[in-house]
Amino acid sequence: MIRDLFAHVLEEALPHKFPRMTYKEAMHRFGSDKPDLRIDMELVDIGDLMEDVEFKVFSGPAKDPKGRLIVLRVPEGAKLSRKDIDGYTEFVGRYGAKGLAWIKVNDVDAGREGLQSPIVKFLPDEALNEIIKRSGTQTGDLLFFGAGNANVVNESMGALRVKLGHDLDMVAREWKPLWVVDFPMFEWNERDERWNALHHPFTAPSGSVEELEANPGECLSRAYDMVLNGCELGGGSVRIHDMDMQKKVFEILGISDEEANEKFGFLLEALKYGCPPHAGLAFGLDRMIMLMTGASSIRDVMAFPKTQTAACLLTDAPSGVSAAQLKELNIKLRKPVGES
């Protein structure tokens, strides 16, 4: 359907089969579950190179099971000024990053002498050489480093990758559709010390009830998102159609049998009598039109956008309600004490 729309409306030929990428790969390479593949930059892991260095900013996250240490190569980025770098440091700070280490590569063949950065003196030659090799760095490039909690690194450096791509005019003029699959079934809530459903509690897991119970953190869901140029066009999943599986998901999420029956008893009752496997997908039509028209905001393509106060200028809603309408709905308005 999407290929047909682009062919007829824009005369653009999208790939016959959209490429697929797992959630894990998307986060590993791009720090995002909706990667913009038009930007030819990737996050490269270097934690294994930094576990034993004395530079605690790098060795700490490298040794932490929940940490991540990456390098992002910016082609021809050495031309950026210190003011530019300070601006990008402030940018990643909005996502929780504590800083943004960098190295300018003035001459890749000169080894340490060809590198410009306050952190070079803390890193051994072997590590520096491997970073340059692993990231494919060339003379004139700039290396940005992300270090810390894995979630913060992914979010901050993933956002930086996109910003740099737009700022430095590195976004290819083409359409890059993608299916993102194999999302985790659950994510751990550190604050409440419990599992949360990454999508919703009715998404089917890819394994059995026994596998789900044994290791919920490793269980994948049968969910999928369609992504285009870094924008999620739509998402969906195969739904749970087995009562035992649905009960087990509720149990892992900390929903008691009593609460499950109170809130979802109708569903469990229906599943008890049998339900066919089923799945679906919901599209954001406005998002797709925004991309196809080149609009900068989704509000530019919505037929009847609301104002910031949620008012509709077309229908003049919300409007006043008559006493008769309130009576029909058994609603009574009470004025605050002190108002006449």
Q: In whole angstroms, give the CA distance from residue 85 to residue 104.
A: 11
Q: pLDDT tens-digit profile of 92-144? A: 999 999 999 999 999 999 999 999 999 999 999 999 999 999 999 999 999 99
Q: Closest by alpha carbon to 43, among 184, 152, 128?
A: 152
Of residues 59 and 199, more confidently modeled: 59
Q: Closest by alpha carbon to 102, among 62, 60, 131?
A: 131
DSSP labels for 11-67? -----SS--EEEHHHHHHHHSSSS--TTB---EEE-HHHHTT-S-HHHHHHHH-TTE
Q: For the structural domain made of 39-171, what CATH number should be given? A: 3.30.1360.30
Q: pLDDT tens-digit profile of 202-259? A: 999 999 999 999 999 999 999 999 999 999 999 999 999 999 999 999 999 999 999 9
Q: In whole angstroms, give the CA distance from residue 283 to residue 263.
A: 27
Q: Which of 17-31, 224-238, 304-318 has the lowest mean pLDDT?
A: 304-318
First-to-last C-alpha distance (Å) of the chain: 59
Q: What is the pLDDT of residue 304?
A: 84
Extract the tokens encoding 173: 């003029």
Q: What percent of the chain has pLDDT over 70?
A: 99
Look at residue 14 and tell me whether its pLDDT is greater than 90. yes
Which phi-psi region, left, alpha or beta, contains residue 194 (left: φ > 0; alpha: ψ -120 to 50)?
beta
Which helix (DSSP H) or strand (DSSP E) does residue 283 occupy? Answer: strand 279-283
Q: Can you give 190-220 as a three-state secondary structure string? A: CCCCEEEECCCCCECECCCHHHHHHCHHHCE
Q: What is the pLDDT of residue 339?
A: 67
Extract the tokens encoding 76: 């021809």
Q: Binning pLDDT at 50, 70 and 90, where does residue 43 land?
A: very high
Q: In whole angstroms, give the CA distance from residue 256 to residue 247.
A: 9
User: pTM, whole model, 2 decimals?
Assistant: 0.87
Please name every residue paired with 280 in a beta bridge, in sequence order, or none if there are none: 237
Q: What is the pLDDT of residue 333?
A: 87
Look at residue 191 and tell me whether its pLDDT is greater than 90. no
Of residues 305 and 181, more confidently modeled: 181
Q: What percent of the chain has pLDDT over 90?
A: 86
Would you list the domain boundaries of the chain?
A: 39-171
Q: Binning pLDDT at 50, 70 and 90, where does residue 340 land?
A: low
DSSP labels for 212-274? HHH-GGG-BBSEEEEEETTEEEEEEEEBP--HHHHHHHHHHTT--HHHHHHHHHHHHHHHHT-
Q: pLDDT tens-digit profile of 152-174? A: 999 999 999 999 999 999 999 99
Q: In whole angstroms, give the CA distance from residue 136 to residue 130.
A: 10
Q: Closest by alpha carbon to 240, among 268, 208, 277?
A: 277
Q: What is the pLDDT of residue 308?
A: 86
Mean pLDDT of the chain: 94
Q: Compute how many other C-beta atoms are within 10 angstroms of the C-beta atom of residue 186.
A: 22
Q: What is the pLDDT of residue 299?
A: 85
Extract the tokens encoding 12: 């653009």
Look at residue 338 and tell me whether its pLDDT is greater than 80. no
Look at residue 305 and tell me whether its pLDDT is greater than 90. no
